[in-house]
Structures are given as C-alpha cells and as structure tokens.
Chains A and B, each alone.
Chain A
Amino acid sequence: MINSFFWVDITFWLYLASCTFYMLYGLFYKNETLGLLGTVTAILGAIINTLALVYRAYEAGHAPFANLYESMLLFTWATVIGYLIMEFKYKFRIIGTFIMSIVFLSILTIVWLLPYRYQNIDPLNPALQSIWLEIHVITTFIGYAAFAISFGISIMYLLKNGVEKKTGGGLKNFMIRFPDLNILDDLNYKSIAWGFPFLTIGIITGAYWANYAWGTYWSWDPKETWSAIVWLIYAGYLHARVTHGWKGVRTAVFAIIGFIAIVFLYWGVSFILPGLHAYA
C-alpha cells in the first residue's frame, strides 16, 4: 500500500543517491555528468519529499508539522529547495556535496535512528490546532534550512582556507572546484540574511500564537529561550560582520556555532530539557 512511509523511503534513497553523486562529482572533478546527476536526483528527491509531506498531511488530517519526524521532513524539504535555488542562481554545484550530506544525515536520523513511536501520526493536542502553528513552523524551518546551508558553506570555507594556507594555493584535490574564499564568505552571509528574517518571523508568530492560545506571548520555556539564544548568536554574527568588518574564518566559525545551537534547540531541548514544546 502506498502511504507516506513509502514516499519517505523513496526520498531517503534519492537523497542518498544525490549525496553520492555530488561526492563523486567532487572527487572526479573532470566529470560534469556526475554533478548533473546529483542535481537531478536532488530535484527528484525534493518532489518525492513534497509528496511524502502531502501524504502525511492527508493521513493525519492536519499540516504535517506536529512532531519531530514530520518537522524533519519539512527541514530536509526546505533545505534541498533552498539549495537548489542557490545552485540555479550561482552555479556552484560543489556546494551540493556538503548540503546534500547534511540533508542525507537528517533524513537518516529520522528513518533509522528515531524510535518508532516518534514516527507515528499523533492527533493534535488542542493547543496546536491553529493556522498560526503552520505559519510558525514553516517560517522557522525556512530559517533553519538557510542556517544549515550557511553551516555547510562555512565548513567549505574553513577547509579551503586551511588547505590554501598549507599548500600555498596549489590545490590538487577536489577543492579545486570550491568557489573563491570571498565568494564562499559572501554566500555564507547571504544564507544568514535569509535565515535571520525567517527565524525572526518564526519567533514572532510563535509568540502571537502562544498569546492567542494561553494568554502569554513569552514564557521563557526552554524552547523559547533557546530560540532567543540562537537569535542572539546570529544577531552577533551580523553585527560583528557589518559593524566590525568580521569576515572569513571568524564569521564561518560563528555560523557553525549558530547551527550547532540550532541542532540543540531542535533536538537537545526536546529530549534533554523539559518544556511545552515536547512535540517538535
């Protein structure tokens, strides 16, 4: 029977394929076809990922963002689409090697690591039945996706920077395809320039919804607090960059720290710290 789990499985294999093609493309850099295959499988993956979300919504009878499993599917979806837009605009396929690895690891965690009970469709608890939930989750996850992309780009920056220092620019390995350092740096800023407004809208709509649901727009529960911490980290990034001219290694490290904080916000808070947002 075809259900959302079936589409999630297909998505999984497509992302694995895409990730593999992009890696081979990085290693055998004379072969453009491999890169093209990476892109094509990523596009197919995004389409099937969409189907998985639609099926899930249909089965559950509500927008498919009610638990960790569903929101991870949203995360992979937003990240792949964000990346593909970037690829079409800037034509640096090699970045796909890193972004699709993040995407593949994400879907791996929910398909293989997440205990089965987290994959179930849950009925929505009463407070979650609101259009604001949907706006809140979608904007937040567009933000997360943009930050994930900036994370991947920052790692590329640090790798390329490290190797360039050592070998004085004579790159023999697959980094030859990496964009110039200043382009990587600029793309890093651009991803954060997308992530920050969306994270901000996510936080605000979350507050609006909380106010509507229980009369307090901010109650310092761990999830809210961690979202504020993440927000402050990226605000720090922007100010360091714009007002102090921080660039390159330092901002790359900043973006990496920011994304680690997001992973904690997303997984750590749900499993380690107590709070209202136990579902996602």
Chain B
Amino acid sequence: MGEEKTGKKIAAGKGKWDVIEDKFIEIFSSPKLAIFIFIILAVLSIFGTVIEQNREPSMYIAAYGEKWYGVIRGLGLTDIFHAWYFTLTLILLSVNLSVCFFRRLPPKWRLIRDKTVVMAEDAILRQKNSVKLNHNISIQGVKDAISGLLKKKGYKVMTAETNSDISFFAQKGAIGRIGSDITHVGLLIIFLGVIIGSFFGFKGFATIFEGEIKRMPNTDFELRVDKFWIEYYDDYRPKDFFSTLTVIDNGREIMKKTIEVNDPLKYKGVWFYQSSYGQAWDRIDKARFYVYEREGGKFISEAIADFGKEIEVPNTNLKLKVIGFAADFYYDPASKEVFSKSMEHNNPAMQVEIYEKGVLKSAPWLFAKYPEAFLDKSTKYFIEAAGYQAPQYTGLSIAKDPGVNIVWVGSTFLTVGLFLSFFVIHKRIWIKIVDKNNKVDIYVGGNANKNKINFDKDFANLVNELDRIEK
C-alpha cells in the first residue's frame, strides 16, 4: 500500500504542492465528507430552532440568565444561520459538491456514451442477470424477432453481425444516471442565487399614509398610496388588505397597481409587498373630549376637534386645539422633547391648547388611558381625552433580490434531477446469437443501475418471450 503510494508520487513526477492538491481532491470528492457536512448542518440547525434567533437581549437574559447569554451570544448562537461557521459549512458543502461533480461526471459520461455492442459470450453470462438458451431455428429467423421484441419494450437497439453470430445491444434510461449530477448542480446554482441575493439585494420596510408620497429606501423613485382598505370576515377578523399604489419616477406617474397580501407590485426589480397596516403614531385626524366641572365632577359637554383646528366647547367659554399626538408617549429629559416610543398605541396622549375667553391658558398633554394623572388647573374644568381617530398607514415590505430567479432555476434543476435519478432507470441488455448449423445458441445478459427487483421481472419476461420465438 505505502509503496504504491510513493510509487505513484514519483511516477507522476509531481512536487509537494501537487500532493497536497491530490489530498485535497481526495477529501473533497468523498461522499463521506458530504454525510459529515449534512450532520453538522442538521445539528447547527437544531440549535437554531431550540434557541430563538435574533431576539432582543432581554428575552435571552430572562430565559438563560446574564452569564449564559454572554456565552450563547459569544458562540453566535443567537444568530446561528449567519454565524461564520455556518457559512463556512455551506462553503465546504459547495466545494464538496463541485469537486465531486467534476471528478465523477467524466467516467459516468463515458459509461452513458458507451456503446459496446459486441460482447464475448462469457462476458454476457457474467452480467447481473443472464441466461443461455438454444433454439432450433436459423440465425436469420430470430434476428428480426429479437430486434422487434426489444424495440417494443422501449429499448434503443444496436446490432453487429458477423458470418456466424449476431450481437445486440439494447439500452434505455441512460439519462437517469446523471440525475444525481443534475440535482447536485441545481444545488450549486441555488447557492449562487443566494450569494448574489445577499450581495446585491436588500430588504426594507416603509409606512405610508393615504395620499402621501414617499421616496422608497435604496431606490431612486417614489411611491404614492392612493387608497388603503381592509376587508373583514363576518367575525371581524381581517380577511385581506389592499393598497393602491402609484409609482412616481422622475416626477412622472409610471404605473398604478392595487396590491394585496400575496400580490406585490414590481418596479425596477424592487418588489413591494402588502405586509401590515396600522394607525399613525404621531398624528390624528380627530379627537373627542369630555368636559366636566373639576369640583364635583359634573358632566358639562362633549366636543370633537379636528387636528390643529380650534373648536368651541358647548356650554362653556372654552376653546380647544389639538396640536400634538404620541401613540406611545415618551418624554426625553435631555432634549425636552416628546415623541412616540413605538408604533404601538400603548400610551396615547394628545397635546391640547386650552383657551378661556380667547386667552391661552395652558397646553397640557392629556393621557387617554390615565385621564387623572396630571390635572390641569388653569381653568375650573376637567378635560378628558375620550377618544381619537388616527389616519391609517399601510406597511410595505420592500425587497430586491436579483438572485431569486437563479434560485428558482436551481430548484428546477434539483427537482428534475431527482425525478431522473429515482424514476429513470438505466437498463442495458446484451444478446448474442451464435449459429450452430440451423440451430442457435442465444446468450442474454443485462443489468440495471437501480430497482433491481423490478429488472429481475423484466428480464424474466424477456427471456420468456425469447423462449417462445421459435414456437
């Protein structure tokens, strides 16, 4: 063994580098490595489902504790599918696939192209399935019958003739042999598409109000939402939601489309998906107020105000004007500014200017959920923010993925390869009839690369029919 190896090295007359190269090719053409990689990928993936991915740190700390969170994060387990070792494993898989492909295809190709028609009798009998028959018939008498029989079974038949014998070679389904290679190439194409997508694509999100025009992130055009609406089932669960969008490029209206969930708009390779909707977090259309006497709490009246418009409160000398809104009230002490902490309406508050007899008395924030939290004492009234209507925005997912079509091409290869590999079986049959003075010996041999039990039946049938030719 050892000698052989050294012998080969010397004979090849190659330097050290080539030896390493040989070793590399040997390792990477091995399907053993493939199975090993499958196991690694599977185990890493299991980690990725048991540990929730890409959540906020507080969630991990609550689940695992401060110390373990450090460990988990350090090992990349909170975003395992983008960890360097996961990517590396995928790269190894691709290298493995490529090397394997180039190593194995040429010999396989030769086998597929191989059309050895003439085979020695004993070689025929050495095939996986074989039999020897003899008939009392002339050699020319059986020739057409055999040819016809094989053709009827869907084989491509080739013959070669000498004075004393005739050889047949029949095969079908040769293409099935490269099914697995097509699958492997399909996988490589998918990886290529994924890589292109991750380098040249992007994902984004935008919220737009009805009537608003907005430049879309990472693009050079704008979108306008002409209309947004929701359809409900009878039980008020949302059934579907829609936005009518207009693309505005260079100031010109290019196209218009109503998108819905499962039906995006495409423009310049960018896809816009209807993904969510919600209420504005920084503005409202209308507010409703209840006004009471502060002392005693007697209800006085109700008032509804459009945003930014002064209105009179009936039965009082008050005027109110809504000048601000925050859906999730937050006061930043550093900048002394108020803003909404999130897009959720967790703690809605509106800022209202209160005028009494035309004089601005104060401008408090009124909290819809905590009406009595901060009592404004500038007038003798208690004003409660009783409700509001906020404009709805449509939430669009934005995606550009120039690799996605490559992924679908790869997927098609992969699938077609699987069907070829599992259902197109390469069957080969050699028959030789040898003249024995008005009698013939018939040698029949054949094999199939798969589904051998089935081929056994096929072969037995064939032999049966050959047996009956003379009778």
Q: Chain A residues in contact with chain B, CB under 8 A?
A: 123-127, 129-130, 183, 186, 190, 193-194, 196-197, 200-201, 204, 207-208, 211-217, 220, 222, 225-226, 228-229, 232-233, 235-236, 239-240, 242-244, 269, 273-274
The reply on B49 being an interface residue by CB < 8 A is yes
Bound-complex Cα distance A225 to B397 (A)? 22
Residues of B within 8 A of A190 (CB): 451
The reply on B31 being an interface residue by CB < 8 A is yes
Q: Are the CB atoms of B42 and A130 closer together than 8 Å?
A: no
- Other-chain contact of B49, A211, A215, A222, A242 (Cβ < 8 Å): A222
Residues of B within 8 A of A123 (CB): 233, 235, 237, 239
Given known contacts A196-B418, A197-B415, is B46 in contact with A208 (CB within 8 Å)? no
Nearest CB in chain B: distance from A189 CB, A: 9
The reply on B150 being an interface residue by CB < 8 A is no
Q: Are the CB atoms of A130 and B35 closer together than 8 Å?
A: no
The reply on B434 being an interface residue by CB < 8 A is no
The reply on B76 being an interface residue by CB < 8 A is no
Residues of A within 8 A of B32 (CB): 244
Per the 8 Å Cβ criterion, residues 75-134 of B in contact with A are 81
Residues of A within 8 A of B452 (CB): 186
CB < 8 Å A-B pair total: 106
Q: Which of A186, A193, A215 has the most chain B CB within a 10 Å cutoff?
A: A215
The reply on B466 being an interface residue by CB < 8 A is no
The reply on B338 being an interface residue by CB < 8 A is no
The reply on B238 being an interface residue by CB < 8 A is yes
The reply on B19 being an interface residue by CB < 8 A is no
Nearest CB in chain B: distance from A235 CB, A: 6
Q: Are the CB atoms of B46 and A229 closer together than 8 Å?
A: yes
Q: Are the CB atoms of A214 and B275 closer together than 8 Å?
A: yes
Give the size of the chain B interface in residues (CB under 8 angstroms): 49
Q: Are the CB atoms of A229 and B45 closer together than 8 Å?
A: yes
Given known contacts A204-B415, A220-B48, A273-B49, is B422 in contact with A196 (CB within 8 Å)? yes
Chain B contact residues, majority secondary structure:
helix
- Other-chain contact of B42, A129, A216, A233, A242 (Cβ < 8 Å): A233
A–B Cβ pairs within 8 angstroms, 18 of them: A123-B239, A126-B239, A126-B261, A129-B240, A196-B418, A200-B414, A201-B415, A204-B415, A213-B273, A215-B401, A220-B48, A225-B48, A226-B45, A229-B42, A233-B42, A239-B34, A243-B31, A273-B50
- Other-chain contact of A129, B41, B52, B261 (Cβ < 8 Å): B261
The reply on B411 being an interface residue by CB < 8 A is yes
Q: Chain B residues in contact with chain A, CB under 8 A?
A: 31-32, 34-35, 38-39, 41-42, 45-46, 48-50, 52-53, 81, 180, 203, 233, 235, 237-241, 260-262, 264, 271, 273, 275, 397-399, 401, 404, 407-408, 411, 414-415, 418-419, 422-423, 451-453
Bound-complex Cα distance A269 to B271 (A)? 30
Q: Are the CB atoms of B399 and A215 closer together than 8 Å?
A: yes
Residues of B within 8 A of A208 (CB): 408, 411
Q: Are the CB atoms of B418 and A215 closer together than 8 Å?
A: no
Q: Are the CB atoms of B411 and A197 closer together than 8 Å?
A: no
Residues of A within 8 A of B48 (CB): 220, 225
Residues of A within 8 A of B52 (CB): 274
Given known contacts A208-B408, A216-B203, is B418 in contact with A197 (CB within 8 Å)? yes
Bound-complex Cα distance A229 to B40 (A)? 10
Residues of B within 8 A of A201 (CB): 415
Nearest CB in chain A: distance from B264 CB, A: 7
Bound-complex Cα distance A267 to B62 (A)? 26
Q: Are the CB atoms of B273 and A236 closer together than 8 Å?
A: no
Bound-complex Cα distance A54 to B42 (A)? 38
Nearest CB in chain A: distance from B414 CB, A: 7
Considering the complex, give the chain A residue whose CB is closest to the CB of B241. A126
Bound-complex Cα distance A235 to B96 (A)? 15
Residues of B within 8 A of A225 (CB): 45, 48-49
Residues of A within 8 A of B239 (CB): 123-124, 126
Q: Are the CB atoms of A232 and B31 closer together than 8 Å?
A: no
Residues of B within 8 A of A244 (CB): 31-32, 35
Nearest CB in chain A: distance from B354 CB, A: 43
Q: Are the CB atoms of B399 and A127 closer together than 8 Å?
A: no
Nearest CB in chain B: distance from A208 CB, A: 7
- Other-chain contact of B35, A196, A220, A236 (Cβ < 8 Å): A236
Q: Are the CB atoms of A226 and B49 closer together than 8 Å?
A: yes
- Other-chain contact of A214, B241, B273, B408 (Cβ < 8 Å): B273
Q: Are the CB atoms of A186 and B453 closer together than 8 Å?
A: yes
Q: Are the CB atoms of A269 and B418 closer together than 8 Å?
A: no
